[in-house]
Every structure is written in C-alpha cells, then in structure tokens.
Amino acid sequence: MHFLRSSITAVLLWTALFSAGHAADAAIALPPGVVTHADGRAPIESLFRAYLGLVEQGWTAEVLARSEPKGTAIALPIIALRSPTKGPAVWILAGIHGEEPAGPNAIAAAIGDIARLGARRPVVLMPLLNPQGYVRNWRYLNVAVYSEAVDGQSVGDSSHLLASTEDPARPRAAAASSPEADAITAFILTLRGDYPPLYSIDLHEDNLIDQGYVYSQGVEGEKDALAIDAVRALKDNGIPIKMEGRTRFDEPISGGIVGPVADSSIDELMSAQKVVTKSCAKAGPSAHTVLVLETPAAALPLERRVAAHATLLRRIADLLAHASPQP
C-alpha cells in the first residue's frame, strides 16, 4: 500500500486499472530500472502485466509487502490476487526461491486457464512471492544459494506459527525470520477467512536433483489423488521423476510422492490444523490437499521446464474446474 506514495517515478503497469474501478489495484506498480537476471526468464515487468490482467476478469489484486532486503536498492512489491467469488479456494503459489523461475513463468503462460478456473470456483494466486530473488536469481532474501552453513531466509518460512515438536504450545521460532515471511503468513491467516484453502499448489524446482518428486502435505499424503495425477502429468511431459527411494533431504518417496514433512515451510502452514504464536493457539489453514512440485532444473532447458509447469497448471485448473466443490 505504501507503494503508491512513491508515485513520482512509479510506472503504472496496467492503466486500465483506473477505469476498472479497483482503486486499491492502482497502487500496484514496479519502479523503473529493475533489471531481471538474464537466463531466458521473463522480465519481471512482463510477469506482472500477465498476472494483473486478471483484474480485467474481476479479480482483486493487492500488495502484501514491499520487499527490500539488505543489499537491494529498490523495493519490489509482493502481490496476491483473488477471484471474485469467496469460498473454499484453490491457492496457487510460486517464486518462493528466486533461482527457480519455471513456476512464475508458467503461471504467466497459463493465466487464461487460471482465469477460467477462477470463474468456476474461488482461487487465490500468489505468483511471485520472492520478487527480489527472481530478479537477482537469489534463492533467499539474504543469501544466493543453499548452504548447510548459512541459514537462508526463505520468504515462505512459517516457523513462527508452527508448533514446536518439543513443546506444542510454543512456536518453533519466537518471531518471523523476515518482514516478507511475516507479511505473507499474516496474509494467509487473514484471507483464509473468506477464501479457506481447500487445495494449495506450490511450484518449485531444484538444481541439485536430476529426478523430481511431489510433496503431498495434506491429510491424504501419498494417497492424494491430485498428487498422483500431478506425478503422471509431469512424467507425461518428459520430466524425470524419482518414483521410489529418498529425496536429497532423506525423506522417503513412494510412487513419486513424499508424504507430509515438518519443514517449517509455507506448505506445512497451509496444511496445519492449528497455528501457535507466543500468546495463543488458533485453528490453522487446514487445506485438504497441499502439493509442492520439485522438478529437476540443471539438465533441462528453462523453456521445457516452464512448458511442463504450465501444462501441469492447465491440467490441475481443468480438473478442479470440473471437480465437486469438496475433495
């Protein structure tokens, strides 16, 4: 919201927003001069243009936070969009790790299918949760790459809301690890009132694996029908999938699917039955189905990875548009 105040240099991405009457949306702008990492990924301006096109279909767009971690010169907005109708919703998340561009690019490519899904049932879209990471090709807010030695600040870190294993009455962390994680998780806990998550899909990639897998964090774990379908769709699209064995974090894989894990991620939060803060405990988002796609990146050209994620999104959008309201 503060973004509007830097109006002197603001570039309006979609001037029709004014005529559409969604006054709050007019605040969504990118500052000029942002240079996106050049590996074939779409410039951030064109992603925003695609996402904000949903406002034309009656969606509401808003800025959750201005991300300006240490070492960056220009703040970038973290946005969310929601379809016109409230109710149990499909949530689609992407871009948590900046060096994984396939998901945010695939959402732009499949935006028409997401719009059609939003006309059939409630949808919440958080398409580029780490815009600074995306433009810099940085995984985290504070460090470029995964390291056992450095604690990378993930924008999806939810440890301040998830129960400690030693003391379930307390959260795993006393406070959010970054203002971005704080804003994103707070937004989820607020919007779950009008758009309670039924399905949550989070698009990731991994440079350090040559075969992918799908985490299924919801109540049905490895047996979740949408997870099984996602594995099939990825394989049909030529993405190598590790069907059995263990992930690189030593979690067991069954049929290409990893059952619920406690990793303090936003996905664990989406499936959590309860959330815990220093002062109280309350009901969690409790999504029935929570999928996290981990597809291999190093050996596949970006174009192919984007195409696979987009095909999967289209398939999920089509399936859920015609599915019964409850799983």
Which residue has 């990875």 as its token pair? 305
CA Rg value for the chain:
19
What is the rounded distance in angstroms from the CA atom of residue 287 to the CA atom of residue 89?
9
* Closest CB 166 distance from Zn ion, rounded Å: 27
* Closest CB 25 distance from Zn ion, rounded Å: 28
Residue number with CB closer to Zn ion (83 or 265): 265
What is the rounded distance in angstroms from the CA atom of residue 73 to the CA atom of residue 70?
8
Cβ-contact 92, 127 below 8 angstroms: yes
Q: Which residues of 81-108 are buried (b: 16+ CB within 10 A; e: fewer)?
A: bbbeeeebbbbbbbbbbbbbbbbbbbbb
Residue number with CB closer to Zn ion (204 or 314): 204
Residue number with CB closer to Zn ion (97 or 121): 97
Q: Which residues of this chain interact with Zn ion, rule CB under 5 A?
A: 97, 100, 204
List Cα–Cα distances, 4 to 26, 77, 282, 283, in angstroms: 8, 11, 34, 34
Residue number with CB closer to Zn ion (239 or 276): 239
Q: What are phi and psi of 318, to 5 degrees?
A: -70, -45
Residue number with CB closer to Zn ion (62 or 263): 263
* Closest CB 290 distance from Zn ion, rounded Å: 15
Residue number with CB closer to Zn ion (206 or 224): 206
Cβ-contact 209, 294 below 8 angstroms: yes
* Closest CB 294 distance from Zn ion, rounded Å: 7
* Closest CB 105 distance from Zn ion, rounded Å: 14
* Closest CB 204 distance from Zn ion, rounded Å: 3
* Closest CB 41 distance from Zn ion, rounded Å: 15
Closest CA to 29 of 4, 64, 8, 54: 4
Residue number with CB closer to Zn ion (83 or 200): 200
Those residues with Cβ within 8 angstroms of residue 250's Cβ, 6 or more apart along the chain or in another chain = none
What the block records as the tokens of 235 is 């394989």
Residue number with CB closer to Zn ion (121 or 242): 242
* Closest CB 102 distance from Zn ion, rounded Å: 10
Cβ-contact 22, 57 below 8 angstroms: no
